[in-house]
Amino acid sequence: MSGAARYQRRQVYLFLCIQVLLLAACASPAQRMDAKAFEFGFTKHVVEGLNFHHVIYATPPSKFKALHIYLDGDGSPWLHGRYIARDPTPRNPLVLELASLDSQADIIYLGRPCYLGLFREPMCDETLWTSARYSELVARSMAAAAQKLIKAREPTSVSLIGYSGGGSLAMLMLAYMTDVDEVITVAANLDTDRWAEYHGYLPLEDSINPMLSRYPRHIRYRHFAGEDDENIPAQHIREFAAQHGGEFVLLPGIGHRCCWRERWLNLIK
């Protein structure tokens, strides 16, 4: 190959690389989550909850009899801390990554109402990812969607695994579900009133505070907290476990986002 031909080939390669990068930069948060889910081997579906649709990413049914349902955090309800986001879809795929590492069960990542590209649906309102993010309306719809998925799979055991605000919803969904054996919360916001006061935020006045609810006693609870978590202090989670029961696990060297991936394989076992 001549020098001119090699140069031309390099130019074409660079052009294609730039186009890929530009497309990635222009992709919506939902499209980036779709791409990440596809990369991890999940398939995308949309299921009906109660008055809302929910995007799910799932592994196909397998030899496992257990089902792990992952619930993500609040995503990006606010932009720059001042403006309500039009699309609250998570920009960080941490929970998808944790789900992809879980080889102990069949996996379903269950999205919230109006998240993952569904924010244009008629019932969607910005309060559902701000002040009402942990409301009965949200919890009921997620529980209804989860129950449909459980009925379709017929697992022998079901675990809800919720990160940050997803942990809040995992606890609140129990009021509307019958088929849960275990709840695992990860850096979860389990006392929303105290959390808002701690950060100086407006109270989540349209939400239910998990700390003030009651929970079934037959379910196994595990609450993981990062010792270095500055968003949701471990002490908040410790006090929730002391009041409502369940295993409290404090993890040194772990923050709100940092280092859960590296520890997840051992934690989920």
In this predicted model, what pLDDT tens digit does every residue of 22-41 receive, in sequence order?
344 579 999 999 999 999 99
Residue 25 has a pLDDT of 52
pTM above 0.85, yes or no: yes
Is residue 102 within 8 Å of 195, Cβ to Cβ? no
At 143-164, the pLDDT tens digits run: 999 999 999 999 999 999 999 9
- Please report the pLDDT score of residue 41 as a whole number: 96
All residue ranges of the chain with pLDDT < 50 are 3-4, 6-7, 11-24
pLDDT for the residue 11: 43
pLDDT of residue 106: 97
Residue 1 has what pLDDT?
55
Q: Identify the pLDDT of residue 79.
A: 85
Sorted by where each begins, the domain ranges of the chain are 28-268
Domain at 28-268: CATH code: 3.40.50.1820
